[in-house]
A and B are shown apart, each in its own frame.
Chain A
């Protein structure tokens, strides 16, 4: 087990290094030098500019700048925002919680809705129930977040005003948990729709395959209850590809969070990303990308762990 985790870590570390290189060089290639961004007026004293350049290390070769940046990264220093002048970490740090909240809630909701629907579909294929949930999954997978969001806001915020369409809390009231949940309902649902679609199909497919296996017939023959056959024997064996699919969902969830947060004015990393791109605030863009990289890598490690718990063959293979 420990060996397995170690091996997965060995994959995660180069991935992280790759991403830092990519992010750094993208920002390096971006139009507009940091100096121009810091000194908005073009009449700034040349001497002052040269001093600043030396102080920021911008006169060094690019690979030196990269190692400097990574060095600071490990000390928790992500630089200073061009737009606000605040430390990037302060701006990014307070946005992590809200993004984790809706992405995790959405992951949970997707699993909660999609797996039972997929299992029931596979149990009675080509029944009315199957057509219903397959139809749902096709439409879900084809509906972009933003359009689902617009429709939900139109229905539930404009027509019948039961859910708020923006922010995390009512601006006036105290920040209660109930208020938070009330604000979370729409963005979480919207973020889940595409994932639910793809997860229903995956679950249906793999349960359908497992149900043909001999041990299912054995379980039935020895008199197991159907529900036990379905959820204990079939689902557990069908779960591996489903967990893999959940793993591949994580990047899409994070990408979808950008659109969803922007639409619902949710104060997370995604809406900060859009704001920073619009104002070409590269230190913040780089900071968010690195934070997301770390989060995604941790997410993948957790998925790997779940995978190895579910399927002992993985743990013990070389």
Chain B
């Protein structure tokens, strides 16, 4: 028992070493950590208010009172970007978790029990992957009502095929292995085999896919909100802050109303992608997403 722990430790040590070798990934991890702490704690520390309207400043540029200016309704841009970050990051992470929760059981079902499950699940995955999910998300969100919760759930549920495929592939490769056979022979239950052997074997590609899915979900949410079909004002998200830049006067004359939100969005997605790359190198799996 003790020995096994030792081996594990050295594997993790290796992983850690390889990860910290990837400079961009380390920077990305640091940036994302700071960003997450900032969107959680800054509103409390600075008592930011993204909803209150300053009637003395409609669409004003940066000033002492409003560090990053105000929007056309007179709301503080800095507060909106911080609150928007809360919404965008939450939607991204929670919807990726939902994709995971939906995709993994389906992938297990298809890979472990094969037969008709395999046909049904994998064919459905093909269908979902070949059809533009953006269109389905638009339609679903309009049918269910455009709230933060429905957007998160819809983006999450439609992200299942990627995870189902990964788990399916991994299950197929593991289920015929001798150690699974021996586990079966000594009477390990199906659940035990799945939890002890199949899921851990798939964890590396799943963790990597999870980071990329989060980045993709953030982009999808912001695109929907930009169209006015996602997170609805007065709630802020990085996408719906940019909604106002569709007006040419805002675009041309009030850069503080759209440039910062866009830049922070790109940097965040970039960092999540770097993080995913770093984890991929660290876990040393040959996989492209």
Chain A residues within CB distance 8 Å of chain B: 11, 14-15, 18-19, 22-23, 26-27, 29-31, 138-139, 141-147, 150-151, 153-154, 158, 165, 201-202, 205, 241, 248, 250-252, 254-256, 258-259, 262-263, 273-274, 277-278, 280, 285, 288-289, 292-293, 296-297, 300
Contacts and interface: CB of A to CB of B under 8 A. Distances in A.
B227 A144 contact: no
A150 B245 CA distance: 7
Nearest to A292: B135
A300 B130 CA distance: 8
Of the candidates A27, A30, A147, A150, the one having the most CB atoms from chain B within 10 angstroms of its own CB is A147
Contact of A296 (B130, B143, B246, B273): B130
B262 A147 contact: yes
Contact of B266 (A143, A254, A263, A293): A143
A142 B138 contact: no
A133 B219 CA distance: 22
Contacts of A202: 288
Contact of B143 (A26, A165, A273): A26
A292 B134 CA distance: 12
Given A14-B123, A26-B140, A150-B258, A258 B134 contact: yes
Interface string B178-218: 00000000000000000000000000000000000001000
B56 interface: no
B147 to A, nearest CB: 14
A259 B226 contact: yes
Interface residues of B, number: 42
B139 A255 contact: no
A31 B123 CA distance: 30
Given A26-B139, A202-B288, A251 B132 contact: yes
Contacts of B140: 26
A277 B138 contact: yes
Contacts of B270: 138-139, 142
Contacts of A26: 139-140, 143
Nearest to B253: A158
Contacts of B79: none
B223 A146 contact: yes
B227 A259 contact: yes
A158 B252 contact: yes
Interface string B244-273: 011010011000001000100110011001
B143 to A, nearest CB: 5
Nearest to A303: B130
A151 B138 CA distance: 24
Given A139-B270, A154-B251, A259 B223 contact: yes
B127 interface: yes
Contact of B251 (A15, A29, A158, A258): A158
Nearest to A23: B139
A153 B250 CA distance: 12
Of the candidates B142, B239, B246, B251, the one having the most CB atoms from chain A within 10 angstroms of its own CB is B142
Interface in B105-150: 123-124, 126-127, 129-136, 138-140, 142-143, 145
A275 B145 CA distance: 16
Contacts of B145: 31
A251 B131 contact: yes
Given A153-B251, A158-B252, A255-B134, A15 B126 contact: yes
Contacts of B129: 248, 251
B251 A144 contact: no
Contacts of B246: 263
B131 A296 contact: yes
A255 B135 contact: yes
B100 interface: no
Of the candidates A11, A158, A273, the one having the most CB atoms from chain B within 10 angstroms of its own CB is A273
A42 B258 CA distance: 43
Top 9 nearest A-B pairs (CB, nearest first) are: A255-B134, A251-B132, A142-B269, A254-B132, A142-B270, A147-B262, A255-B132, A146-B226, A30-B143
Contacts of B70: none
Contacts of B252: 154, 158
B116 to A, nearest CB: 14
Contacts of B288: 201-202, 205, 241
Contacts of B152: none
Given A150-B251, A154-B252, A277-B142, A11 B126 contact: yes
Contact of B132 (A138, A142, A252): A252
Contacts of B135: 254-255, 258, 273, 288-289, 292
26 contacts: A14-B123, A19-B127, A26-B139, A26-B140, A31-B145, A139-B266, A141-B273, A144-B219, A144-B265, A144-B266, A144-B269, A153-B248, A154-B252, A158-B248, A158-B251, A201-B288, A251-B133, A255-B133, A255-B134, A255-B135, A258-B138, A274-B229, A277-B139, A277-B229, A292-B131, A296-B131
Nearest to B24: A138
Nearest to A205: B288
Contacts of A277: 138-139, 142, 229
A18 B140 CA distance: 16
B132 A292 contact: yes
B72 to A, nearest CB: 16
Contacts of A254: 132, 134-135
Given A27-B143, A147-B262, 18 more contacts: A11-B126, A139-B270, A144-B226, A146-B222, A146-B223, A146-B226, A146-B239, A146-B242, A147-B242, A153-B248, A248-B129, A251-B134, A255-B134, A273-B135, A273-B138, A274-B227, A280-B142, A296-B131
